[in-house]
Structures are given as C-alpha cells and as structure tokens.
Amino acid sequence: MGSGVRLGLALGGGFLRGVAHIGVLKVLAAEGIQPQMVAGTSAGSIVAALYCGGWGIREMEQLALSLRPHDIYDFGPMFFNLGAMAVKVLADAFHLPFPFPSPLGLMSGYKLESWISRLLGRKTFRQLARQLAITAVDIHRGHRIVFVSEVVQHRPPSGDIYFIAGLPVAPAVRASCAVPGLFEPRYIGGRLLVDGGLRENVPVEVLHLLGADVVVAVDLGYEGEEYKPVENMVQLLSQSLDIISTEVTRLKLAEYAHVVIRPVLTGVTPWDFSRVAYCITRGEEAARQALPEIKRLL
C-alpha cells in the first residue's frame, strides 16, 4: 500500500449472503491489503466487528461454516410473538383493549447479541484492533446512527448522521441487524434503533466522513437477477428490502465508492446455511476481479 493512503472497506447488508465478506477479506489479506477502517451494516456489521475485533480470516471462515440457525435466531418466542402481533392487530381494528405489550418483532435479537458478546469478549469500540463503524437507523426520527471509537466532530451537509462513540460492540451489531418485523429494535441511549440498511445498505458515506482516502465497497444487494420463488415471510421481507434499497445504494456508491465489489449470489435465502461455502467462494471470486483497480488506487 502506498504511504499515507487510508483505505476504508464498506461491508453491506444481505442476510446470510454477508458471509461473502469473509471471501473478500481473504483475498485482500493474501495480497497484503489491510484496510485502516471498516464500516458495516446489518450482516456486514457482524463480519466487520469480528475482523476489527482481531479475528483471523481463517477463524471467521471456520466459524461461518459451522454456523447454524439456532446459534443466532431466537426461535423459542417466535411463534408466541407472531400470535401476539396478530391479536394486537385485531384488537386495534375492533377498538378492543389489549392489556399486554405487543412485540415489535418475531425475534428479540438477544441470542445474536449474546453470540457476538461471547466472540468478542464484550469489547468496546475503543478496544478494537482496527477502526470500526457500525450503522443503524433511529426509527422514530429517521436519523442514521453510526457507532464509532472516537467522537466525530464534523457532520454531513444533510445533518442527519449522529455518531456515538466508545460503546460495547455487541449491542451496536444487534441494532444494525434489527430487520424491521423480523427482529425487535434495540434501545440504545434513548433511541429505538433498527437495521442500518434502511438508509444506507453499503456504508460508504460513513467512511468518507471518517477520512478514508480510498473507499472499497462490497455490495450484496439486488442487481436485477430473478430471485427464487418466495416460500416464506422472511424470504419475502429479505427480497423486498433488497429491491427497495437498490436505487439509494447505487447513488451512494456512485458518489463515495472508488471500487465496488459485487459477488454474484443468486438464489441464496436467509435460511440457506448449507450455502455458506458457496457465498465465501463467490466473495473471493469477485474480490480477485477487483484487485487490479484496488492496487492501482493504493
């Protein structure tokens, strides 16, 4: 890498497809390319947190290959929450009292947060080996919330990004992964936070604000390919969010990303854990194609 060049890597959301980020990091590491800062959204926040928390690429790959749905998903209360949500909707429709708090998602997200805490040893952002930024969205105000190690003084012209410094990493990851409807939002600092992908699925602008000279983005989103037939609500939600965020993502990438890596991950659903190895390989292939341009900029 050229002297003084600050490389930022933006890892986008994409449910299970997020393990493709491991393949990208694997190729960069083999070439001696190490980003000074990493920003992650949703699934990208998990890989970004582990990488900045000192996990080796091989360790992350083995972790991903051994991952099972029950490791991160709260299946226990899911059916109760679904029933409670349905009863609440009916009670509101007929103006009937509903004496219990209505769940705000099918799963709490507590299991995912506990899993991250175990893997990182409850580290805070200031204790990480590399500079990390994780994004979420304040569902009440629509603001973008970015968790970082140090306070960022300047704000973008839009004024709707708020930086929060030095907190534990695991709650930030859970907030960034809180897909509306699937996971309950996470309260942090008086804010009700949901998936950062609602505003910026590939957090390239954040890296620009943090001072990156070169921004490499990994976009796992929808690129016009035909999806597999929808078989369940989670798959429907995943594909809908992909399509909704496409145009905003393209505009952000065009403005702030110097290189965009787009792994081809056709037909990978949120529950398809048997395709983890396939996703990692696709990430490697896409990263190799982008290497000449990355090296030119560095």
Q: Residue 271: which CATH number?
A: 3.40.1090.10
- 101 in a domain, yes or no? yes
146 & 197 share domain: yes
Catalytic residue chosen out of the listed positions 74, 138, 195, 219: 195
- Tell me if 2 is assigned to some domain: no
Whether residues 91 and 66 share a domain: the answer is no
pLDDT score for 225 = 54
pLDDT means over runs of 10, the chain (298 residues) = 83 94 98 97 98 97 94 68 54 63 75 95 94 97 94 70 94 96 91 94 95 96 61 66 75 95 88 93 98 96
Does 149 participate in catalysis according to the annotation?
Answer: no
The verdict on residue 97 lying in a domain is: yes
Residues 6+ apart with CB under 8 A from 101: none
Q: Which of 42, 45, 176, 238 is catalytic?
A: 42
42 given a catalytic annotation: yes
Phi, psi dihedrals of residue 251, rounded to the nearest 5°: -65, -45
- Tell me the β-bridge partners of 165: 148
Shared domain check, 126 and 97: no
In the prediction, which pLDDT does 159 show?
74
Cα separation, 62 vs 132, whole angstroms: 22
State the pLDDT at residue 248. 77
| DSSP bridge pairs for 136 | 145, 195
- Per-residue pLDDT at 213: 96
| pTM for the model | 0.89
Looking up tokens 């507590």, which residue turns up? 110
Domain enclosing residue 113, as ranges = 7-74+109-297
Expressed in angstroms, the distance from the first to the final Cα of the chain is: 5
